[in-house]
A and B are shown apart, each in its own frame.
Chain A
Amino acid sequence: MGNNNQRRRILIVLGVFVALGIVTPFLDSFMQALVTEILIFGILAMSLDILLGFTGLASLGHGAYFGVASYASAIVMTKADWTWTYGIYTWASSSGLGIFYLFIFGIIVAIAFSAFFGFLAIRATGVYFLMITLSLAMVIWGLAYRWSAVTEGDNGINVPGRPSLLGISLDNDITFFYFALAVFLICLGILYVVVQSPFGRTLVGIREREERMEMLGYNVWLHKYLAFIIAGTFGGVAGVMWTLFNLFVSPPDVELITSAEALFMVALGGPATLIGPVIGSAIIRTLQQFISIYVERWPLILGAIYIMTIMLSRLYGVDGILGFASKLRSSTAAASNSQD
């Protein structure tokens, strides 16, 4: 029964993305860019869900891994005098593999940073964890802002163009959308396997009761640490995608607002659901694009949305939109049961 339900959900999700793949080419370029952006931030929010939803660690510094990977890939593509990065990149690009090098490089940087930051942060729990991750992310922001020899400081880095994927040019918006969709689905697939695996189950166990898992002989620290690195890795994937999409990286991309937005996307869509954060990303990004057209006070409205969402969700005791949906479904099911 449960298995059947699960299969149905997977089919629904896949159906939605197939529909998205069919519909998007017929939209105008503004909407195409919006959908691509939603997918990229969807990856970021999903990766944070591994930490927040499944492991129960609220990180307010997830923008850091997004940011370092984003900067790393931009630097690889632009710093012509760095043989180790630019040399290999141009060599790989000549055979259409440049984009793989970008991803590998970006992911390695993200893993390195999350491994180091995780090492510092995992000892702490709850509020302490949140504040440590926040401070560490601010360090990344500080580097992006002040270390102008590498990051170009306030000006940001302009990227000349996207490398080709095995000879297929990604400069076209539609091909890039399909590329983003493919990367997104790969990430979703991998993360789904991770959370369904015994490892993912253990993470949920740690979230529910850490002492019990410790007692049962699980290495709680290592599980949390690995979850942190996995989250950082996929945050890095989102970062590389962001550079490729935007062709520009600057300190505001690494700001606290990115981390907070990722956290909010998870809280809004429903933690521990993987697909919920993607819904959160879709809502926030769509609102941002459309509200920014009419008013210039987006942060103000975003702040109000944060407060209202949290007030409403705590008032009705539901976890995000998917939590609300499942509560609605269970209450209608209860109603139909009582009718029978």
Chain B
Amino acid sequence: MISLSLSNVIELSFNSLSYAALLFLLASGLSLIFGVMRIVNLAHAAIFLFAGYIALEFYNIIDGTTSIMPRLMQLIAWGIVYFAWTGLSRISTEARACISLLLAYVVLEILSTLLFGVRLYEYLFPTIAVKSVQKINFFMLSAAIAAAVVMVALGGMFIERFFLRRFGQDTLAQVLVTIGFAFILQDGSLYTWGGDNFIFEKPWPLNASTVIGGISFPQYRAFMIIVAVVVAIVLFFGIERTRLGAIMRATVDDPEMARGVGINTNIVSMSIFAIGALLAAIGGVVGGAFFGVYPGVDFEILPYAFAVVFIGGLGSFAGAVVGSIVVGFMENFGTALFPELSYFALVAPMAIILAVKPTGLFGKG
């Protein structure tokens, strides 16, 4: 057991708070998706990682260290696939369209490899050479967040519309499908961007530390806290004060009644899933400059997100705030005091709260 001085405690508290901010960005999306749709999205942390990689590629393209051509070719390739699929599914069923498209692809792949030496899958799934980026400015960071948010939100809508919607409340199916997507995103990232540990340079003015009374406060950590607070405020007012928020809450409380008064609950579910994913994406880009981006960071951070939603209660906004602060402090102080057993610092509060109230501090029923 290491004893801590007052300045240690202040520094650790600041670090805990910034870590809590990152956890909030991750866990609030998880909690939102669960609260509205009763889906445990195990791909959530993989989305977090994926967004980090998107930001990395974005920086590389802006820097000119990698070309945008493979992505344009990919867009065209998938466009062709999409039009072929819609065309085929007009004249036959969706299942048959899928199978015939798959067969056509296999035949074309073999033909093009043999005749022209061209591998089609390299157009559908290009590998992108990226490297750690040095010169990032504040504008680029914001633009990267925007780019990642858009991509990930679209991806989230796709997953919800074509896969998760079909399962209703079948927990086992939801879990296995989302974990399947987690594997695909994780290994797909490894395939596309390689397995190196990439680090983002922090943009000016966030790359310095402010020293107050002999204790240094890294400004990037302060930035993380500010982002989380802004997101929390937007989320809170969005849910509590706007018409859209009212529609969402109505869908949560009574989906049948909501449908009855003319709310399209399908669109609501899809948007919720997209919002959850985009929250993870913001966390991923902001966290990318903090943790670095490397394969495996997703499954490492997932238990923290779960600990947050457990302690706070799934589907509760206040719970996500309180939970992330509790876990942030537990993790940082736990690591400082018992470095080898820091994961136990996660379980202890979880165990106590679960023993007292299985639905978490703010959870309903």
Chain A interface (Cβ within 8 Å of chain B)?
Answer: 52, 58, 60, 120, 123-124, 126-128, 130-132, 134-136, 138-139, 142-143, 146-149, 255-257, 260, 263-264, 267, 297-300, 302-307, 309-311, 314-315
Query: B40 to A146, Cβ gap below 8 A?
Result: no
Of all chain B residues, the one with the shortest Cβ separation from A255 is B299
A131 contacts B191, C-beta separation under 8 Å:
no
Q: Does B291 contact A (CB under 8 A)?
A: no
Q: Which residue of B302, B340, B355 has the most chain A CB atoms within 10 A of its CB atom?
A: B340
B255 close to A (CB within 8 Å): no
Kindly list chain A residues whose C-beta atoms are within 8 Å of the C-beta of B40.
127, 130-131
Best-buried of B163, B166, B179, B303 by chain A (most CB within 10 Å): B179
Is B359's CB within 8 Å of the partner chain A? yes
Asked if A310 meets B303 with Cβ closer than 8 Å, knowing A143-B343, A299-B186, A300-B188, the reply is no
Q: Are A60 and B346 in contact (CB under 8 A)?
A: no
Alpha-carbon separation in the docked complex, A202 to B55 (Å):
53
On whether the beta carbons of A300 and B184 are closer than 8 Å, the reply is yes
- B191-A300 in contact (CB<8A): yes
> Beyond A135-B310, A147-B341, A310-B177: 17 further Cβ-contacts under 8 Å?
A52-B172, A58-B171, A127-B40, A130-B171, A136-B347, A138-B343, A146-B343, A255-B299, A263-B176, A298-B187, A300-B183, A302-B180, A303-B179, A303-B184, A306-B179, A306-B180, A314-B167
Nearest CB in chain A: distance from B306 CB, A: 5
Report the bound CA distance from A119 to B363 in whole Å. Answer: 21
Q: Could you say which residues of chain A place their CB within 8 Å of the CB of B171?
A: 58, 126-127, 130
- Cα-based distance from A52 to B309 in the complex (angstroms): 24
Residues of B within 8 A of A (CB): 34, 38, 40, 163, 166-167, 170-173, 175-177, 179-184, 186-188, 191, 299, 302-303, 306-307, 309-310, 314, 339-344, 346-347, 350-351, 354-355, 358-359
Q: How far is the CA of A260 from the CA of B299 in the complex (A)?
A: 12
User: CB-CB < 8 A to B166: which residues of A?
Assistant: 311, 314-315
B183 CB to nearest chain A CB (Å): 3
Residues of A within 8 A of B38 (CB): 127
Q: What residue in chain B is nearest A296 (Cβ atoms)?
A: B191
> Across the interface, which residues of A come within 8 angstroms of B347, CB to CB?
135-136, 139
In the assembled complex, which residues on chain B have CB atoms less than 8 Å from the CB atom of A299? Answer: 183-184, 186-187
A134: B residues at CB distance < 8 A: 302-303, 306
Complex CA distance for A135 and B347, rounded to whole angstroms: 8
Contact (Cβ within 8 A) B354 A123: yes
Cross-chain contact A120 with B180 (CB below 8 angstroms): no
A302 B183 Cβ-Cβ under 8 A: yes
Bound: A303/B175 CA distance, A: 12
CA–CA, A15 and B94, complex, Å: 42
B residues near A120, Cβ cutoff 8 Å: 350-351, 354-355
The distance from the CB of B247 to the nearest CB of chain A, in whole angstroms, is 24
Interchain residue pairs with CB less than 8 A apart (20): A58-B175, A127-B34, A127-B40, A127-B171, A131-B309, A131-B310, A139-B346, A142-B303, A147-B341, A255-B299, A257-B183, A264-B176, A267-B176, A303-B181, A303-B182, A303-B184, A304-B180, A305-B180, A307-B176, A315-B166
Partner of A307, one of B180, B344, B350: B180
A307 in contact with B351 (CB, 8 Å): no
A171 to B163, CA, bound (A): 47
A135 touches B306 (CB 8 A): yes
B181 adjacent to A128 (CB under 8 Å): no
Chain B contacts of A302 at CB under 8 A?
A: 180, 183
